[in-house]
């Protein structure tokens, strides 16, 4: 029996290699990396102030490497300030947030064994919303020592608190299962949303309510160099860790019984993965608000491209998510002149129709084509 299940696991991991060669997958990864680099250069050129693409790359090359392209010295001016101080940090933030959300979505869909799961299945979004609503509308009187980081701190605290409540609720009276996790997430999501609405209803702060509304729709407008180190460290560390967990994630697709026969305690791994994805998502949500659908649709698209082997799904999802959010942010800040739309609106407008199409597409399944 053990040999049979091991053979099935091995077949799952090797299935797509019969169709896509190692060289083909390497070419795909290289192509996505090139697209990320090109997208970053194009994204810093697009905005309310149009900057020539060649000038954008010249400024970035000079700032990053110290090499002055074309022999012309880099002059301090509006273009340099716009690209280096405003747009490039924002593009890097979009890259990291998109990669992190796609990574968490792919992990959660495997851990929960539910293709409809995304980073918000644990009630993270509602928990973060509750924390941010508390900080903005009730004020910083008792928490003034946090300064301007108060909203981010309480959003992160709310996200982590909601996640821990879900894990605790799902583990009561027996082992944690995917069904219990989903149901617990729904309960905590409803509870946090109710408390957020309670605070908003009794708040007498029109400006604060407007801020809360904008924050819950997601925005990268506050991106800056000071925020990138933490986000970068968290996302890159999580990416490296989960890339090494591909075999366990593949085993999760076979179910708990098969995993037990193989000597793998999925309850332990599932709890660990949920805590880590909650941590990553909490940090991202605290920095840029709610950005939905990225963790839901990107892994679906990727599995349609490369199959269900997580050795391929994980790196492709990270790169694809980065590209998706870079261009989504470009649309959000340039679609309407002199007005910046919350990026969460754009991701929902793009993601919802795509997801509806995938739901009605015949023969589509978890990891299927």
> What integer pLDDT is reported at residue 261 of this predicted model?
80
> What integer pLDDT is reported at residue 70 of this predicted model?
60
Are 26 and 313 in contact, with CB atoms under 8 Å apart?
no
Range of the domain at 14: 2-25+97-360
Beta-carbon contacts of residue 271 (< 8 Å; ≥ 6 apart): 167, 171, 176
Give the Cα separation of 366 and 253 in Å (integer). 9
* The residue to which tokens 């941590």 are assigned: 279
pLDDT grade for 17, boundaries at 50, 70 and 90: very low
Beta-carbon contacts of residue 240 (< 8 Å; ≥ 6 apart): none
Phi and psi at residue 336, to the nearest 5°? -115, 130
Dihedral of the alpha carbons of 9, 239, 341, 198, in degrees to the nearest 10: 80
The pTM for the full model equals: 0.84
Tell whether 63 is covered by a domain: no
Tell whether 206 is covered by a domain: yes
Tell whether 344 is covered by a domain: yes
Tell whether 178 is covered by a domain: yes
Domains of the chain: total: 1
What is the token pair recorded at 320?
Answer: 């694809």
Tell whether 367 is covered by a domain: no
Beta-carbon neighbour count of residue 331 at 10 Å?
17
* The residue to which tokens 């963790």 are assigned: 295
Phi and psi at residue 366, to the nearest 5°? -65, 110
> What integer pLDDT is reported at residue 76 of this predicted model?
58
* The residue to which tokens 């608000």 are assigned: 289
Q: What is the pLDDT of residues 256-285, one digit of tens each?
A: 777 778 777 877 888 888 888 888 888 888
Tell whether 312 is covered by a domain: yes
In this predicted model, which residue has the larger pLDDT, 348 or 176? Answer: 348
Q: What is the pLDDT of residues 316-334, one digit of tens each?
A: 999 999 999 999 999 998 8
Give the Cα separation of 357 and 351 in Å (integer). 10
Give the Cα separation of 343 and 83 in Å (integer). 20
Smallest Cα–Cα separation from 125: which of 98, 147, 101? 101
pLDDT grade for 2, boundaries at 50, 70 and 90: very low
pLDDT grade for 145, boundaries at 50, 70 and 90: very low
Tell whether 69 is covered by a domain: no
Ramachandran sector of residue 366 (left: φ over 0; alpha: ψ -120 to 50; beta: rest) = beta
Tell whether 72 is covered by a domain: no
Q: What is the CATH number of the domain that holds 161?
A: 1.10.3470.10
* The residue to which tokens 């160099």 are assigned: 225
């Amino acid at each position: 029996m053990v040999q049979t299940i091991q053979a099935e696991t091995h077949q799952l991991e090797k299935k797509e290699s019969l169709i896509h060669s190692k060289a083909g997958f390497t070419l795909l990864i290289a192509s996505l990396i090139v697209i990320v680099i090109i997208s970053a250069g194009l994204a810093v050129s697009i905005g309310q102030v149009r900057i020539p693409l060649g000038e954008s790359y010249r400024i970035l090359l000079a700032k990053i490497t110290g090499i002055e392209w074309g022999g012309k010295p880099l002059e301090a001016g509006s273009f340099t300030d716009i690209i280096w101080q405003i747009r490039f940090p924002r593009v890097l933030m979009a890259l990291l947030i998109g990669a992190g959300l796609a990574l968490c979505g792919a992990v959660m869909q495997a851990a929960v064994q539910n293709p409809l799961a995304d980073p918000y299945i644990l009630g993270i979004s509602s928990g973060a919303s509750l924390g941010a609503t508390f900080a903005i509308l009730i004020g910083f009187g008792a928490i003034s020592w946090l300064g301007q980081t108060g909203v981010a701190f309480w959003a992160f605290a709310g996200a982590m608190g909601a996640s821990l409540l879900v894990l605790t609720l799902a583990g009561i009276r027996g082992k944690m299962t995917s069904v219990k996790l989903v149901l617990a997430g729904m309960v905590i999501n409803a509870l946090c949303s109710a408390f957020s609405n309670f605070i908003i209803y009794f708040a007498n702060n029109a400006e604060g309510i407007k801020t809360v509304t904008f924050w819950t729709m997601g925005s990268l407008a506050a991106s800056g160099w000071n925020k990138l180190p933490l986000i970068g460290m968290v996302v890159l560390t999580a990416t490296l860790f989960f890339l090494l967990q591909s075999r366990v994630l593949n085993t999760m697709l076979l179910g708990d019984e098969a995993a037990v026969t193989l000597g793998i305690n999925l309850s332990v791994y599932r709890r660990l993965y949920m805590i880590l994805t909650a941590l990553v998502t909490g940090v991202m949500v605290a920095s840029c608000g709610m950005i939905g659908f990225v963790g839901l649709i990107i892994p679906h698209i990727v599995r349609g491209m490369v199959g269900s082997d997580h050795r391929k799904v994980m790196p492709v999802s990270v790169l694809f998510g980065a590209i998706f959010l870079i261009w989504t942010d470009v649309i959000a800040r340039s679609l309407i002149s002199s007005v910046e739309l919350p990026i969460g609106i754009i991701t929902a407008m793009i993601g919802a129709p795509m997801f509806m199409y995938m739901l009605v597409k015949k023969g589509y399944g978890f990891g299927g084509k």
